[in-house]
Chains A and B, each alone.
Chain A
Amino acid sequence: MLFRPLHVAIVDDHALFRKTLKNYLSEQRNMEVVIQASGMPDLLEKLKSYAVEIVLMDLFMPGLHGSDAVKSVHSEYPHIKILVLSMSNDLDLISELLDSGIHGYISKADEPDELVKAIQVVSEDRIYHNKIFTEALYRNKQNKIRTYTEGGIVLNEREKRVIQLLWEEKSNKEIGDELFLGVRSVEKIRQDIKEKIGAKSTVGLLKYAISKKIIGATTPFTPV
């Protein structure tokens, strides 16, 4: 039982967003932003000195981010509830997050009072229900079902898109631009795909994709 306002931490590398959010939340009577951090290492350091019930975390930060970031908090502070705040609508990304145990997902495009409501719900150790979380739950379940119907290998929508763009002979940078990802992320996704399907090279990757009809072998070759 808490006899004091909720302690909240905000982790986001966008300083302007972080500070304006802190100001907004400070106007709420029942909560207090006791930690502001620009990234995970900063947060973990400050958590040693300040007790916090809820962490508002952006998905994309330099260094540790996403599911790894969530897990790093939970490994030392399992009782902390995590609410992810992000611009991303990538369902595969969000559905992967679910496995690391988040209490909710709010889009930065949502109204601020939705965030306040979410914090309230999450403080009671309940998951915050909203459309995007529901979508992520279904995507997560759909991906898992596919795993056993297709004998273990499942590629998500984003991975399939990367393969299709590869087949169009796009560079990693061009793929990144199209999918709003950095080059490093594209490289990682390609690597993950290869590991998932057991391919040793890009050629192997494309052979698999042709066999699964992710790309069409009859696409005419257009010289650049």
Chain B
Amino acid sequence: MPVSLIHLAIIDEHVLFRKTLKSYLSEHKNFTVVLQTSNAFELFDQLSRSTVDILLMGIAVSGFNANNTLDMIRTRYPSLKVIVLSMSTDMDLISSMLESGIYGYICKADEPEELINAIRVVSEDRIYRNRLFTEALYWNEQTRISPYANERPILVNEREKKMLQLIWEEKSNKEIAETLYLGVRSIEKIRQDLKEKIGARSTIGLIKYAINKGIVIPSDRHSLSVIN
């Protein structure tokens, strides 16, 4: 493979990180950092005047909307390859970037050699593979196939479980209150909080959740309760 110069650009709000990264990368014979900036506006301005092969995009703070910038890059500079650098290992974040066509995702906590490897691989027009990128690929695929599989588990406590069971037994709030040694007002509040936690709009939603989680088990025999 012919050894050619790789033109790099760095965007990151953390000035200290950006400048030390630039000097680290400049020590490598095949790399030259032609552009560095803290904001997207300056980036696009300078991109129009320089040749850049790979952009290293640092996500310093959550306020920076990386996806917007990535989309703009894809439209205006489709041959520019982006490697994202971040402290975050949040799957939702990484997988949303995958949709914007990034070539690699490096955690800032990793060894610098990883970034060097990544730049080399990406310069050959290949995606840089690492654990995070693989996880994000699966995450994306999983979400596509079954949208609820990736949701964070909702933990229902013992009292809430008991309440769901009592609701299933068609007990009134008053009866539930007596069983749990609480006031009716408290029961009403717990019920409301539980609905919000689970995302249920009504008692039906609560029951569906309870069945789904195995908190109550529907049997084949339905016993009609006597209404007093």
Contact = CB atoms under 8 A, between A and B. Distances in A.
Interface of A: 1, 98, 101, 103, 125-127, 129, 134, 137-138, 141-142, 144-145, 148-149, 151
A138 B142 contact: no
A145 B103 contact: yes
A127 B127 contact: no
Q: Closest 5 interchain pairs by CB?
A: A137-B137, A125-B146, A145-B101, A149-B78, A149-B79
Contact of A142 (B127, B144, B214): B127
Given A141-B98, A148-B78, A148-B101, A134 B134 contact: yes
A101 B149 contact: no
Given A137-B137, A145-B127, A149-B78, 17 more contacts: A1-B211, A1-B214, A1-B217, A98-B141, A101-B145, A125-B146, A127-B138, A127-B141, A129-B138, A137-B134, A137-B141, A138-B127, A138-B129, A142-B126, A142-B127, A148-B78, A151-B78
Given A145-B103, A149-B78, A103 B145 contact: yes
A177 to B, nearest CB: 30
A115 B170 CA distance: 44
A151 B134 CA distance: 26
Given A137-B138, A138-B129, A125 B74 contact: no
Nearest to A148: B78
Interface residues of B, number: 22
Interface of B: 74, 78-79, 98, 101, 103, 126-127, 129, 134, 137-138, 141-142, 144-146, 149, 211-212, 214, 217
A148 B134 CA distance: 21
A157 to B, nearest CB: 13
In this complex, the member of A98, A134, A138, A145 whose beta carbon has the largest number of chain B beta carbons within 10 angstroms is A145
Q: Is the interface of A mostly helix, strand, loop or mixed?
A: helix
Contacts of A138: 127, 129, 134, 137
A134 B141 CA distance: 11
A129 B142 CA distance: 11
A137 B95 CA distance: 13
B147 to A, nearest CB: 10
A134 B146 CA distance: 18
Contacts of B212: 1
A145 B137 CA distance: 14
A125 to B, nearest CB: 5
Nearest to A151: B78
22 contacts: A1-B212, A98-B141, A101-B144, A125-B146, A125-B149, A127-B138, A127-B141, A127-B142, A127-B145, A134-B134, A134-B137, A134-B138, A138-B134, A138-B137, A141-B127, A141-B137, A142-B126, A145-B103, A145-B127, A148-B74, A148-B101, A149-B79
Contacts of A144: 101
Contacts of B129: 138
A151 B126 CA distance: 17
Nearest to A101: B145
A126 B149 contact: yes
Contacts of A141: 98, 127, 137
A134 B84 CA distance: 21
B207 to A, nearest CB: 13
Contacts of A149: 78-79
Contacts of B217: 1
A57 B50 CA distance: 52
B137 A126 contact: no
Contacts of A1: 211-212, 214, 217
A126 B142 contact: yes
Nearest to B145: A101
Nearest to A98: B141
Contacts of B74: 148
B200 to A, nearest CB: 18
B104 to A, nearest CB: 11
A81 to B, nearest CB: 8
